[in-house]
Amino acid sequence: MAERENIFVRSASAVRDEADGLQQLLGLEPIPNTEGALPDQYGLRGPATAVAGTVGYLVQPNGHVDPDAEPEDAQAFDSYPVEIDIWLGTRGPEQAAEARLVFDRLVAARPDVPMLLCHDLDLLVAAYRPGQGVHDFPEGTTVDTPDADEWRPWVAVDQEA
């Protein structure tokens, strides 16, 4: 599977509403062929901003949370119910730059909503918390518990709901 960038959104809104909001904010169109998509998945696409090309988006529930996970298996995005996957025909720095632009636009448009920007469900790139702003993580910071001391101050947790 190709690498993707991921934005996790800590919102009580329905996934459909999140997809609609993203579509309006970025001027996206639905991906017409959704055969095989799960019921709460919404594909969108639109022109890239930083490079020539089309960006694809998949807005869906965060399905990466293990409800029976032990505390040592916690991940930074566990309390973020909505996931937005982002991909560009050109992988690498261009895709990462495009995802960062989308993240920054979402933060500006929704300053009351915590968000995380990750690379391929593995590395934390940035986090946004209302009242604290945006924090860029050191390169190589993972979403996993061994790096929790680095990300915990910037990640919204269940008790804050």
The CA distance from 5 to 123, in Å, is: 10
The token pair that represents 66 in the structure block: 């293990």
Confidence of residue 157 (pLDDT cuts 50, 70, 90): confident
Q: How far apart are CA 105 and CA 107, in angstroms?
A: 5
Q: What ranges in 27-147 are assigned the alpha helix state H?
A: 93-109
Confidence band, pLDDT 50/70/90 cuts, at residue 161: very low
Q: What is the value of pTM for the model shown?
A: 0.92
Per-residue pLDDT reduced to its tens digit, 112-123:
999 999 999 999
Name which CATH class applies to 5-160: alpha beta
Give the pLDDT confidence score for residue 35 in this predicted structure. 58
